[in-house]
A = this chain, B = another copy of it.
Amino acid sequence: MDASPLMWVVPISGVIAVLVAAYFAWDVLRSDTGTPEMQKVAGAIYTAAVAFIKRQYRTIALLAVGGMVVIGLVIYFFESAPGVSASELAIKTSIAFIVGAACSMASGIIGMFVAVKSNLRTAAAAQHSVADALRISLRGGAVSGILVVGLSLIGVFVMFIAYGGFQHPEQAPFTIVGFGFGASFVALFAQLGGGIYTKAADLGADLVGKVEAGIPEDDPRNAAVIADLVGDNVGDCAGRGADLFESTAAENIGAMILGVAIYAVTQNIAWIVFPLVVRGFGLIASVIGIFTVRGSDTKSPMSSLNLGYYITVALSIGGMWLVTNQMLNEKGAGYWFFFAGVVGILTSLAFVYITQYYTAGNWRPVQEIAQAAKTGPATTIISGVAVGFETTAASAITISIALFLSHYFGEQWGNATGLPHGGIYGTAVATMGMLMTAAFILAEDTFGPITDNAGGVASMARASLETRERTDRLDAVGNTTKALTKGYAVGSAALAAFLLFSAYLDKVTDLRKTAGITPADFHVVDLAKVDVFLGGFLGAMLVYLFSSLAIRAVGRAGAAIIEEVRTQFREHPGIMAGTEEPDYARVVDITTASALRNMIAPGLLAIGAPILVGVLLKAEAEAALLMVGTMAGVILATVLNNSGGAWDNAKKFIEAGELKDDKGNVLGKGTPAHAAAVVGDTVGDPFKDTAGPSLHVLIKLLATITLVLAPLFV
């Protein structure tokens, strides 16, 4: 081996990540914990969230152990590789799977733990200052963001070394794909379970509380209110954490597999470890970016966050320059990959702007929905669906340009150096560029539910109006950052899709060579063949069926909650009068049980369908399922996320008093227009917080499942 000293960035940035996360956690935990009332509410949230996570992760752990055994058996009986025994291969892949699953679970648990501790402290800080509340909530979120990205980086690096990456660099990336699959596997159930929990509780709380009983949001008389607050943590924090953990892991491993092809020609290991090094720089850039965010009591919190993000982007570009210049600079043509990397970094910026345009109240789309609310819920829904459909255009065109350019730059490098595989490597560099800022984005994302919860804590603890106003200001920003993260996650999934397909094709080629199948080369996915076409068609269908199951699961779990809250109101009239406390724990229990029961069907579909199609129609049809399923999934997720976000903010637009009738009168809360907007928001909830985010995971899972189980389809 003859790798660049830059490789040391990987372990160093990993250690920095752990240290900084520990510092942030310590900083948050030492902060003021507010009034006894606040502590009581936060305690209830904490207890319920931990109870859910325990039960959920116990279920997931069981499923993961089952998955590990199945994978081991499949590999043992179907896969072979030169110089490795079948049992060694099976054991290595199984271990990689379970380690990936465990890391993913760990990052979900730690992130949620700190988030649940941060909400109380944010509420307490909001009693006197927005700036302090912003600092605590962002640092609470940053623990999760930094650890998720850091753990995934360290995990892949350690697996790579443990599986002899420096002795057999051309084999190791293939054996660690199990790590990515394990992470996806856990993320799938974490996101489904958490997503169903959060929106079922939200739906139940709103429909019985706001609509039937006519009490405000987060009112302590509502038995579902604690479950609702818990939901933000288990869905948005734990779920999204697991989602981005597996994204970064899977895309990293995919990029390393592509590097093998160039390593085979250059014998330079830099091509394989480059993705790790770039991510190390990205992690450091993100940490610095987070440190630069200083809240202010006068400036908008969003502009503080944006400044931090710009700094992260700028540092990432610098890091990308350094790494491409040092590691990929074959014949002095490394700058082509620098361009490709910059394309990726700028794509993440583009998604931030596209998402804002379509889901924030300052622009045409949300205002159009708010106008439609004047003529009732039907036109509100129609208008929101039209906006959601429309958003696919900007997103798909951005992705297309990014893929095209990064591939083009990679090809130019190929022309300059005479080396092969430049084009596809260019798309991998762009993907890694896009993922450089992941830790910052994820910190912003987790900041969202923390401030949301802080508002809930303040409200239930009957804190002062000023406190509530401060948390509301932060919460509004949190809504935007949550929407941005989803746009970013879908965008990176789309950009990464192509690189993961190519990794799958490489893997199948590899398997065919070993098995002596001719022609071994498998780099064509020909849609003009009937079975391949059908694979694609079924892939496109799969994302809809999966979303249907996820959405129906929310409806079912929500119905169970509604039933329970109604019963409590009926049997204990003291609750409504405010003389009796509702039984929050029972609603939490019911939600937990229902979310866990209902996550199984969509989860098994996501895993079973690609296996079935692959076994029946074989490798090429499976590739089409993966590709068309990814296209359809990216587009449907975009529709679901953005229509949901736009409805949410159309409601907020009206609540802020910005909608006026013909005569200039404000149509605010309590008007039929507001009621119509609430319907839109409620419809959007399972779209944007259950089905959409679960689709991200499905897309990645398709990629890792095909990689790991490829021996079944050859």
Residues of A within 8 A of B (CB): 203, 207, 211, 372, 375-379, 381-383, 385-390, 392-393, 395-397, 399-400, 403-404, 407, 423-424, 427, 494, 498, 501-502, 505, 523-528, 530-531, 533-534, 536-538, 540-541, 544-545, 547-549, 551-552, 554-555, 558-559, 562, 623-624, 627-628, 631-632, 634-635, 639, 678-679, 682-683, 686
Alpha-carbon distance between A686 and B544 when the two chains are bound, in angstroms: 20
Closest 9 CB pairs of A and B: A389-B548, A378-B682, A396-B541, A390-B548, A525-B527, A389-B544, A386-B551, A392-B544, A407-B530
**Residues on B with beta carbons closer than 8 Å to the beta carbon of A400:** 534, 537-538
**Residues on B with beta carbons closer than 8 Å to the beta carbon of A627:** 527, 533, 536
**Residues on B with beta carbons closer than 8 Å to the beta carbon of A381:** 381, 679, 683
**Residues on B with beta carbons closer than 8 Å to the beta carbon of A624:** 527
**Residues on B with beta carbons closer than 8 Å to the beta carbon of A377:** 377-378, 679
- A-B contacts besides A378-B679, A396-B541, A544-B639, 9 pairs, CB < 8 Å: A377-B378, A378-B678, A381-B679, A385-B551, A392-B544, A400-B534, A403-B534, A523-B528, A528-B623
**Residues on B with beta carbons closer than 8 Å to the beta carbon of A628:** 527, 536, 540, 628, 631
Contact status A379-B555, CB under 8 Å: yes
Contact status B498-A555, CB under 8 Å: no
Q: How many copies does the complex hold?
A: 2
Chain A interface SS verdict (over half): helix
**Residues on B with beta carbons closer than 8 Å to the beta carbon of A534:** 400, 403-404
Closest to A558 in B: B379
CB of A344 to closest CB in B, whole Å = 15
Contact status B533-A403, CB under 8 Å: yes
Contact status B525-A501, CB under 8 Å: no
Contact status A679-B386, CB under 8 Å: no
Contact status B498-A635, CB under 8 Å: no
- Cross-chain pairs A/B with CB under 8 angstroms, 26 sampled: A207-B376, A207-B379, A211-B376, A375-B562, A376-B679, A377-B679, A378-B679, A378-B682, A379-B558, A381-B381, A383-B555, A385-B551, A386-B551, A389-B551, A393-B545, A396-B538, A399-B537, A400-B534, A404-B530, A407-B530, A423-B530, A501-B533, A540-B631, A540-B632, A540-B635, A544-B639
**Residues on B with beta carbons closer than 8 Å to the beta carbon of A555:** 372, 379, 382-383, 386
Contact status B538-A528, CB under 8 Å: no
Contact status B528-A527, CB under 8 Å: no
Alpha-carbon distance between A501 and B534 when the two chains are bound, in angstroms: 14
CB of A634 to closest CB in B, whole Å = 8
Closest to A548 in B: B389
**Residues on B with beta carbons closer than 8 Å to the beta carbon of A388:** 548
Q: Which listed residue, B427, B528, B530, B631, touches A525 by the CB 8 Å rule?
A: B528
Alpha-carbon distance between A47 and B658 when the two chains are bound, in angstroms: 44
Contact status B635-A427, CB under 8 Å: no
**Residues on B with beta carbons closer than 8 Å to the beta carbon of A540:** 396, 540, 628, 631-632, 635
**Residues on B with beta carbons closer than 8 Å to the beta carbon of A386:** 548, 551-552, 555
A207-B375, A528-B505, A530-B403 in contact; A382/B538 too (CB < 8 A)?
Answer: no
A211-B376, A544-B635, A627-B527 in contact; A551/B404 too (CB < 8 A)?
Answer: no
CB of A155 to closest CB in B, whole Å = 29
Alpha-carbon distance between A639 and B632 when the two chains are bound, in angstroms: 14
Contact status B527-A623, CB under 8 Å: yes
Alpha-carbon distance between A81 and B391 when the two chains are bound, in angstroms: 42
**Residues on B with beta carbons closer than 8 Å to the beta carbon of A562:** 375
Alpha-carbon distance between A448 and B134 when the two chains are bound, in angstroms: 61
Contact status B427-A530, CB under 8 Å: yes
Closest to A505 in B: B528
**Residues on B with beta carbons closer than 8 Å to the beta carbon of A678:** 378
Contact status A528-B545, CB under 8 Å: no
**Residues on B with beta carbons closer than 8 Å to the beta carbon of A530:** 403-404, 407, 423-424, 427, 498
Contact status A541-B393, CB under 8 Å: yes
**Residues on B with beta carbons closer than 8 Å to the beta carbon of A686:** 382
Alpha-carbon distance between A379 and B682 when the two chains are bound, in angstroms: 8
Contact status B396-A635, CB under 8 Å: no
Alpha-carbon distance between A389 and B427 when the two chains are bound, in angstroms: 32
CB of A430 to closest CB in B, whole Å = 12
**Residues on B with beta carbons closer than 8 Å to the beta carbon of A375:** 207, 559, 562
Alpha-carbon distance between A393 and B639 when the two chains are bound, in angstroms: 20
**Residues on B with beta carbons closer than 8 Å to the beta carbon of A528:** 501-502, 505, 523-525, 623
**Residues on B with beta carbons closer than 8 Å to the beta carbon of A393:** 541, 544-545
Alpha-carbon distance between A427 and B529 when the two chains are bound, in angstroms: 12
**Residues on B with beta carbons closer than 8 Å to the beta carbon of A396:** 537-538, 540-541
**Residues on B with beta carbons closer than 8 Å to the beta carbon of A424:** 530
CB of A694 to closest CB in B, whole Å = 13
Alpha-carbon distance between A382 and B377 when the two chains are bound, in angstroms: 13
CB of A180 to closest CB in B, whole Å = 20
A498-B530, A530-B404 in contact; A378/B683 too (CB < 8 A)?
Answer: yes
Alpha-carbon distance between A595 and B559 when the two chains are bound, in angstroms: 41
**Residues on B with beta carbons closer than 8 Å to the beta carbon of A395:** 541
